[in-house]
Every structure is written in structure tokens, then in C-alpha cells.
Amino acid sequence: MTRMEETQGLRARTDVHFNCCQSVLVPFADACGLDREAAFRMGANFGSGMHHGSTCGAVTSALMVLGLAGKGPDEATQFMRRFREKNQALDCAGLLRMAKENGEERKPHCDRMVFDAVEILEDLLK
């Protein structure tokens, strides 16, 4: 199973909620030297832009993964640039506002943010 497939599976679960941060962090736990449970716990308070609309949890988790995988500021900057180019913002509140303006429901929108983060992250970790 690829990391993207695992991420899609986590986002589809109904028995346990994986927030946007956890949905990116857990599939990359091995690349970070973490077990899945530690990654799940570490991401618990970063969903919904740290619970107040700040930086999207998919973005914060991707930056955590890059750091734990030994990547530096160049890769972090590349990640943020690419994510912003694709989605026009990095903050949860701004991303959700644009989704609402475009008539996109929250769950599919957030799934898309998570999938975009995983796609960019996989490319940067090659």
C-alpha cells in the first residue's frame, strides 16, 4: 500500500477520526522514526489550524515530516510554495473560506488539502 492509499484509507474511516495533521503524519511515521501511535498523538492538536484556523494541519504535519526526515529549510520553503500555488493559502481559515465561496463542502475540501500535502511531500522526499 502506498502512503497516498493509506492516507485515503485514514480519511475514509468512520470509527476513528484522523484530523488533517494526523492523516499526513501517520503514513509517514516510519520516515520520521516514529511509531504510528506516537504520530497519531503528536498530530492530535494540530487539526483545524491548531483548533483556531491558523496554519492548515496538513501543512504543519508535512513540515514536521520534512524536519524529522532530515530535510531543511529549502525543502520546507518548497513545500509551502507548492502548496500555496495549488491552493492559494496556507491557513485553515483562508482555505475554508475559499472552499465555502466555491460551494465545496468541508470534508471533501479538507481531504483534498491532505492529499495535496501527501503528494508534494512524497515528491520532496524522493
What is the predicted pLDDT for the residue at 31? 93
Inform me whether the pLDDT recorded for 99 exceeds 90.
yes
Inform me whether the pLDDT recorded for 12 exceeds 90.
yes
What is the predicted pLDDT for the residue at 51? 87
Quick: pLDDT tens for 58-85: 999 999 999 999 999 999 999 999 999 9
Cα–Cα distance measured from residue 121 to residue 106, given in angstroms and rounded to the nearest whole number: 22
What is the predicted pLDDT for the residue at 42? 96
Cα–Cα distance measured from residue 106 to residue 26, given in angstroms and rounded to the nearest whole number: 21
What is the predicted pLDDT for the residue at 86? 97
CB atoms within 10 A of CB 57: 28
* Segment 2-30 mean pLDDT: 97
C-alpha cell at 81: 510554495
Inform me whether the pLDDT recorded for 53 exceeds 90.
no
Cα–Cα distance measured from residue 99 to residue 27, given in angstroms and rounded to the nearest whole number: 26
> In DSSP terms, which residues pair with 55 in a beta bridge?
91
Give the percent of the chain with pLDDT over 70: 100
